Structure 1
Amino acid sequence: MKRRVPARPVFFKLTQIQMPVGAITSIMHRVTGVVLAIAIPFCFYALHLSLASKESYEHLTKMANTGLFKIALIAFIWALSHHLLAGVRHLLMDIGIGSHLADARRSAWSANVGGVAMALLATGVVL
C-alpha cells in the first residue's frame, strides 16, 4: 500500500515541541557563550574605571549600587557558571564519560540547577 503524501507543507507548532533536558542545556550553553562574549567590553570598561582614577572608581561604585547593574551582574554570574558547568559536561561527554542516556540527563539537570544555584548564591553577595 502506498503512503499518501500531504498536498501542502506541514509546519511544526514550536510551542508544542518538548525538548529533552540535554538539548535545552546545549542551547543554553551556546546562549551563555554569546552573553559572555557580549559582556567582555563592559567588563573591560569597569576594569578601566576602577583603575583610572579615584573619581572614576567612585563613579563605578555609584553605578554598581543601582538595581540594573546588580541584575546584570547576577545574570552575568549565572551565564558564567552555567557556561562553565555545561562546558565541563560537554568535555566529559566528548571523552565518553556520562554519554549514556540516564547519565546525560542527570548531568544536564546538574548543569542547569548548578548554574541557577551559583547565581542565587551570588545574589546574597551582590545584594
Structure 2
Amino acid sequence: MRLLAVIRCVGQYQKLSTDVARAVQHCGCSGGHETSPLQLCPGFLPVRRTLSFICNQGERVSSTVAKPRPKHLNLMQIRLPIPGIISIMHRISGALLFLLLPLLLWLFQASLESPATFAEFRAVVTHPLMKLVLLGLLWGYLHHLFAGLRHLFLDLDIGTELEMARLTSIIVLAAGIVLTLVAGVALW
C-alpha cells in the first residue's frame, strides 16, 4: 500500500515530516504507508501549508497548517531597518519632486519674462525662509538621486548582502545631507 503525497508549498523538512505524520494519522487506512513522491514547488513562499493525500482506497485527506499572523498591526510600532527607511524616503522625495516640478518650472519661466519679474523673483528667493524651502527641495533632489543610483546597483545584484545594503543606505543618507549642507553654506 502506497500513499501519494503532493506537497504544494515550500517548507523545512522537519516541519513537513510532522505535517505528513499528522495527515497520515487522520487517514482512515490501516497504516504502513510510504510517502512517495514528495514534490516541492520552488520559489513559492506559502501563507498556508496544505498537504493533500490520496490513499489506496481513493480517499482524499487534507491537512492545513496556518501560520500565526499578527492582529491589529500598528504600523507606527514597526522598527524598519535603515534600507527600508531609505527606500520609503526615496519614494516620498520622488513624489514631492514630481508634485513640485510644475511650480518650479512656472517660477523659472516667470523669472525669465522680463528684468522686472527677475528682480521680484530674486527678492523672494533671498528671504531666509525661502532659502530653507529651496534647501529642502535640494535635499529631496539629492536624496532621490543617490537612492536611485543605489536602487540601480541593487537591480544589478551589487550590494544586496545585508551589511552592504546597510552601508550603502547610510552612505546615501550622509551624501544627501552633506551636499545639502555644502550648498546651504554657499547660499548663505
Query: If the length of structure 1 is used for normalisation, what is the TM-score?
Result: 0.88
Structure 2 unmatched ranges of 5 or more: 1-64
Match of residue 88 from structure 2: 27
Q: Is the 8 A contact 1:78 1:119 kept in 2?
A: yes
Taking the TM superposition and a 5 Å limit, the aligned residue runs for 1:86-125 are 86-125=147-186
Q: Secondary structure at the match of 1:11?
A: coil
The separation in 1 between residues aligned to 2:145 and 2:164, in whole angstroms, is 18
C-alpha displacement at 1:121, in angstroms?
1.1
- Identity, % of aligned positions: 31
Q: Secondary structure at the match of 1:86?
A: helix
Aligned residues: 123
Q: Which has the larger radius of gyration?
A: 2
Tell me which of the two structures has the higher relative contact order, counting C-alpha pairs closer than 8 angstroms and 6 or more residues apart: 1
Q: Show CA shifts across 1:4-32 (max 9, x none).
A: x89xx822233321100010010000000
The separation in 1 between residues aligned to 2:109 and 2:144, in whole angstroms, is 25
C-alpha displacement at 1:44, in angstroms?
1.0
Amino acid at match of 1:115: G
Query: If the length of structure 2 is used for normalisation, what is the TM-score?
Result: 0.61
The separation in 1 between residues aligned to 2:75 and 2:165, in whole angstroms, is 24
Superposition RMSD in Å: 2.0
Q: Is the 8 A contact 1:74 1:126 kept in 2?
A: no
The separation in 2 between residues aligned to 1:111 and 1:71, in whole angstroms, is 21
Richer in strand (by share): 2
Match of residue 38 from structure 1: 99
Runs ≥4 in structure 1, deviation > 2 angstroms? 12-16
